[in-house]
A and B are shown apart, each in its own frame.
Chain A
Amino acid sequence: MHKDPDRVSGEPMTLNFGPQHPATHGTLRIVVELDGETVLKATPHLGYLHTGFEKLGEHHDYNQYIVVTDRMNYLSPLSNNFGYVLAVEKLLDIQVPKRCEYIRVILAELSRIADHMVWLGMGALDLGAFTIMLYGFAEREKLYSIFEKTTGARLTTSYTRVGGLMRDIYDGFEEDVRAFLNSFPKTLKEVHTLLTRNRIWMDRTKEVGVVSAEDAIDYGFTGPCLRASGVDWDLRKAEPYSCYEDFEFDVPIGANGDVYDRYLVRMEEMVQSGRIIRQALDNLPDGPVNVEDYKISLPTKEDAYGNIEGLIHHFKIIMDGHGVQPPKGEVYCATESPNGELGFYIVSDGSGKAYRIRIRPPSFIHFQALPHMIEGGMVSDIVAVLGSLNIIAGELDR
């Protein structure tokens, strides 16, 4: 305890938070000016993970770039794959088979659950609730097993292709997903029991990092962060893309825009994702998963090895400068990724490579509002607010 009052309200102290800090969960840095425990000013620094994804897009062909999209939001790579190929398909003006759309939606919603599970685990860990992290990661592990069986990889999935998918789902996919859907509500219930009415959790999260609805729109918030502030905006409902108009689900809305509401919104979103997946599994159509246009998707192996047309088509798609060539033009395609609006703006000059690819990353835009949310608050609230935004450094710096 300081007896001398000058020592507590004296000169502001500068505290460096990151780039290597256990609570940043990624390489980012905040320089905070403190008066005692009160945050006077926060200045975020970023770019530590800048990898030039947008520049790379101008040098890769349309299918090669799918691999890069895995690395953006590495908690839910399947959602990025999905958003990107939708943009290219819009540019090509093609419609993929219904079965493909359903599988993509199932995997995107499973990714949302995986993303929110890790978010939940990490956010709770930062506030001292260690158990939740183990629960969250255990659930994600089950999902990663499904992803691994489906795509061949746990993280770098690269599962979608322009005009379809890498391959159809495996036999037994439905049983695995249903088993997961039956087991994960139990974990959610346990988390609710541990956190939702927990005195410490509520004290640490209620009325912390508050963003009003007007500010949320002004700062470009999307996804769970926007909905926690009380704005009813979900791209799956507002601009139904792919086949989202086929499914019935609710969009949870918060009221106060604080960390606690962002927690509740994400918790309920997982339940709603489960509803979507169930409906998609019940009505999963039969048929091919790729468009039957061999100028866009690869021919089957029997065709490629068995007849000359198949071989030529295979060769043309794989060879540099012969692959998918959309007409000249530009598109902006936004999807509701787990973190918010993930937009791809693609300019095509008619060749096999994009002239310009721009990614509208939700993390980058949410991170901008961090000073607004923590200035005037306590130093210990920084980790709570940062955790609630779910900043993914791969997507932040691209």
Chain B
Amino acid sequence: MSEQHHPLVVQKIQEKYPDAVLDVADARGELTVTVNKDVIYDLMAFLKNDSELTYNFLADVTAVDYSLMEDTLMKYDYARFMLVYHLLSTEKKQRLRVKVPVHENELSIPSMASIWKVANWLERETYDMFGIIFENHPDLRRILMPDDYEGYPLRKDYPLRGRGERETFNFEQQNL
């Protein structure tokens, strides 16, 4: 992992999508690019297919609920959620973190499942835990929680010990 590669990555992204880049951070040897939601699908396809970047491997998809972190909220126009993608280039041995702010009143974002098959379940889990809707997802169902479950456990307003679901969980009515 060499950090000399980072300026090139930033430059290429900024050239391609000049208006979409909201923030660039290079800390602890990790490069983070925060972009606008509108371009995310095209940007990911570009990062994967560009011959100088070759981010061919999607390592992880997750989200963070920033509702209790005031300064981050303010920085991104009070967008509650942040989608986080971790990319890896096995050829260049480089990693890249792409973040996308998502507002609570429009909780949808394009699915990456048509670019990487691994995105399918990772996005299902993000939907399950945070309630973020992935457009054009082939199979957007809950994955860890039961199908009839209400609420999104990893949101900050969800209590650690649940809201009493454990006591009222009806096994017999589960359509398994």
A and B from one complex: yes
Q: Tell me the A residues contacting B by CB distance below 8 Å.
A: 45-47, 50, 52, 54-56, 58-59, 90-91, 93, 215, 217-220, 231, 233, 238-239, 329-332, 334, 341, 343, 345, 347, 349, 355-356, 358, 360, 364-365, 368-369, 372, 397-398
Q: What chain A residues lie within 8 Å of B125 (beta carbons)?
A: 364
Whether A356 contacts B64 in the complex (CB less than 8 A), given A220-B118, A231-B90, comes out as: yes
Q: What chain A residues lie within 8 Å of B144 (beta carbons)?
A: 46-47, 50, 397-398
Q: Is the interface of A mostly helix, strand, loop or mixed?
A: mixed
Q: What chain A residues lie within 8 Å of B65 (beta carbons)?
A: 356
Indicate which residue in B57, B120, B122, B153 contacts A217 across the interface (CB closer than 8 Å): B57
Measured in the bound complex, the distance between the Cα atoms of B128 and A54 in whole Å is 13
Measured in the bound complex, the distance between the Cα atoms of B62 and A58 in whole Å is 15
Asked if A52 contacts B118 (CB within 8 A), the reply is no
* B7 part of interface (Cβ distance < 8 Å): no
Contact flags B112-125 to A (C-beta < 8 A → 1, else 0): 00001110111001
Q: What chain B residues lie within 8 Å of A356 (beta carbons)?
A: 64-65
Asked if A220 contacts B59 (CB within 8 A), the reply is yes
Measured in the bound complex, the distance between the Cα atoms of B129 and A52 in whole Å is 10
Q: What chain A residues lie within 8 Å of B84 (beta carbons)?
A: 345, 358
Asked if B154 contacts A343 (CB within 8 A), the reply is no
Measured in the bound complex, the distance between the Cα atoms of B13 and A75 in whole Å is 42
The 9 closest A-B pairs by CB, nearest first: A220-B118, A47-B144, A360-B60, A368-B121, A50-B144, A358-B62, A218-B117, A356-B64, A219-B117
Q: What chain A residues lie within 8 Å of B56 (beta carbons)?
A: 217
Indicate which residue in B27, B86, B120, B129 contacts A368 across the interface (CB closer than 8 Å): B120
Closest chain B residue to A221, Cβ basis:
B118
Asked if B27 contacts A334 (CB within 8 A), the reply is no
Q: What chain B residues lie within 8 Å of A56 (beta carbons)?
A: 160
Q: What chain B residues lie within 8 Å of A355 (beta carbons)?
A: 64, 68-69
Q: What chain B residues lie within 8 Å of A91 (beta carbons)?
A: 28
The 24 listed contacts between A and B (C-beta, < 8 Å) are: A47-B144, A50-B144, A50-B145, A54-B129, A54-B154, A55-B153, A59-B160, A93-B28, A217-B90, A219-B117, A219-B118, A220-B57, A220-B116, A220-B122, A233-B90, A329-B27, A331-B28, A345-B60, A345-B62, A358-B60, A364-B121, A364-B125, A368-B117, A368-B120
Asked if A332 contacts B30 (CB within 8 A), the reply is yes
Asked if A47 contacts B146 (CB within 8 A), the reply is yes
Closest chain B residue to A397, Cβ basis:
B144
Contact flags B25-60 to A (C-beta < 8 A → 1, else 0): 001101010000000000000000000000011111
Closest chain A residue to B32, Cβ basis:
A330
Q: What chain A residues lie within 8 Å of B80 (beta carbons)?
A: none
